[in-house]
Amino acid sequence: MSQPLIAISVNQILRNGIDTNSISYSYTEAVVRAGGLPLLIPNDFPVNEIQTLCDRIDGVLLSGGGDIDVNLFDGEHHAKIGDPSRDRDRLEIALFQQALGEHLPIFGICRGAQLINVAMGGTLYTHIPTQFETTIEHNTPERKGRDHIAHQVEIEEGSLIGQIIGRTKIPVNSFHHQAIKILAPGLKVTARATDGLIEAVEIPGTLFKALGVQWHPEGIQGISEQRDLFSAFVTACHK
């Protein structure tokens, strides 16, 4: 059986005034380690050719990154919201919807989990510190490293992610100042931080029909449960 081809979305950043595609190696390394073949999809990929893309890939990984445009979910404006990446928002929503329709496995990480919720009609806290009461630091300073354990998450027993992880409480890293606020219809919350913030969502029924996690498993691949997430995703893409 050939290795599944996994489309990975990327950041849209301005470099010297020029729109640029960018993503860290950690995503592609985690996919390769799990037995998949990573394929980076540029933000200027022609949206009307998404079906052509989905005909050739076996799964979609929606990666982490900047904030989703607040206008896409009628979100509360806040000074700390990053500039929108409109090409990325448009591409990822189109890719998500096409992949969902074609029953391709979908794995959302951080922004990717938020993207799944917004694409399905949910909303986000646009700045956690002013909109959600917590003592947890969900937005770890980068100097502490991508593998810094920020908090625990409690995983719903019997959920699809629960079957992969095999434990009800795990430590995770955390690099987000936004999070899911109102859950989209059709999604189920399957993990929360100990402060109650949503940390994982899934479409019930089929593994990776869509599954999103708010933490960054690609940054803590030294932990077996986090490798298991990628292995289960690549296995789902084989089918």
**Residues contacting 201, CB < 8 A, separation 6+:** 113, 116, 117, 180, 183, 187, 188, 189, 190, 211, 212
Encoded one letter per residue, x for contact with Mn ion by CB under 5 A and - for no contact, window 83-122 reads ----------------------------------------
CA-to-CA distance for 155 and 163, rounded, in angstroms? Answer: 10
216 interacts with Mn ion by CB under 5 A: no
Residue 138 binds Mn ion, judged by CB under 5 A: yes
Q: Catalytic site residue 216?
A: yes
Question: Shortest Cβ distance from residue 80 to Mn ion (Å)?
Answer: 16
Q: In the complex with Mn ion, which residue's Cβ is closer, 94 or 165?
A: 165
Q: For residue 143, what are its two tokens?
A: 């100097």
Q: Which two tokens stand for residue 46?
A: 């022609």
110 is an active site residue: yes
Helix (H) or strand (E) holding 12: strand 11-15
Minimum CB–partner distance for residue 118 and Mn ion (Å): 18
Q: Minimum distance from CB of 72 to Mn ion (Å)?
A: 22
Residue 127: active-site member: no
Selecting among 92, 199, 202, 218, the annotated active-site residue is 218
Please state the length of the chain.
239
Residue 87 contacts residue 47 (beta carbons within 8 Å): no
> What mask, x for binding Mn ion by CB under 5 A, covers residues 163 to 182?
-----------x--------
Residues with catalytic annotation?
A: 110, 216, 218
